Amino acid sequence: MKRIACIGECMIELWQDRQHSDRMRRTFGGDTLNTAVYARRCLSAADTLVSYVTALGTDPFSAELLQAWQAEGLDTALVARLPDHLPGLYIIRTDVDGERTFYYWRQQAAARMLFSCDDTQRIEQALQDYDFVYLSGITLAIL
């Protein structure tokens, strides 16, 4: 079995509902998570383990993220849980011409602590057994 690890940050996403400009919709996103999800969808589960590697808090939003990833078939054994941190957050604002602007709150995000938390040694050791490790430039910038 091939083993793929995708390392990065998934953030909570808020975006304005075009029909109700006073409302925001909540979802989540991240480049490395998208890669992990599509790898899982495209590759045989019998032949490939796809793991998402990040850090989350112990709050209800972090629990929702973890459940969504597991529902996609991602292995989450290498997700560190940090009680004093939350996931990062961003808001997308779209102007009248359809141009999107992004606003980020990620300075204290759990994912920034991935390689400086109590689980770091366990995660680094486990990654040595993977065939492929994927990360993005954004991942390198936040870690």
What is the per-residue DSSP string for 66-89? HHHHHHTT-B-TTEEE-TT-B--E
Task: Report the predicted TM-score, pTM, of the whole model to 2 decimal places.
Answer: 0.91
Task: State both tokens at 125.
Answer: 């050791």
Lowest mean pLDDT across 13-27, 69-83, 106-120, 127-141 = 13-27
Task: Please report whether residue 138 resides in a domain.
Answer: yes
Task: Judge whether 80 and 55 are in contact, CB under 8 Å.
Answer: yes
> In CATH, what number is assigned to the domain containing residue 33?
3.40.1190.20
Q: Residue 124: what pLDDT? A: 96
Task: State both tokens at 140.
Answer: 């390198």
Mean pLDDT (whole number) for 116-130: 96
Task: Please report whether residue 104 resides in a domain.
Answer: no
Considering the chain, what is the average pLDDT of its residues?
93
- Provide the domain count of the chain: 1
Predicted confidence (pLDDT) at residue 3 exceeds the cutoff of 80: yes
Give me the phi and psi of 71, to 5 degrees please. Answer: -65, -25
Task: Please report whether residue 90 resides in a domain.
Answer: no
E strands, the chain, are 2-7, 11-16, 24-29, 48-56, 79-81, 89-94, 100-105, 132-135
Task: Please report whether residue 129 resides in a domain.
Answer: yes
* pLDDT per position as a tens digit, 105-119: 988 899 999 999 999
Between CA 13 and CA 123 the distance in angstroms is 26
Mean pLDDT (whole number) for 119-140: 94
Task: Please report whether residue 103 resides in a domain.
Answer: no
Mean pLDDT (whole number) for 41-57: 96
Q: Residue 96: what pLDDT? A: 81
Q: Which domain holds residue 48?
A: 2-10+29-85+109-142
Task: Judge whether 130 and 3 are in contact, CB under 8 Å.
Answer: yes
Burial class (CB in 10 A: 0-12, 13-18, 19+), 19: exposed
- Bridge partners (DSSP) of residue 91 are 14, 103
Q: Residue 38: what pLDDT? A: 98
Task: Please report whether residue 93 resides in a domain.
Answer: no
Task: Please report whether residue 101 resides in a domain.
Answer: no
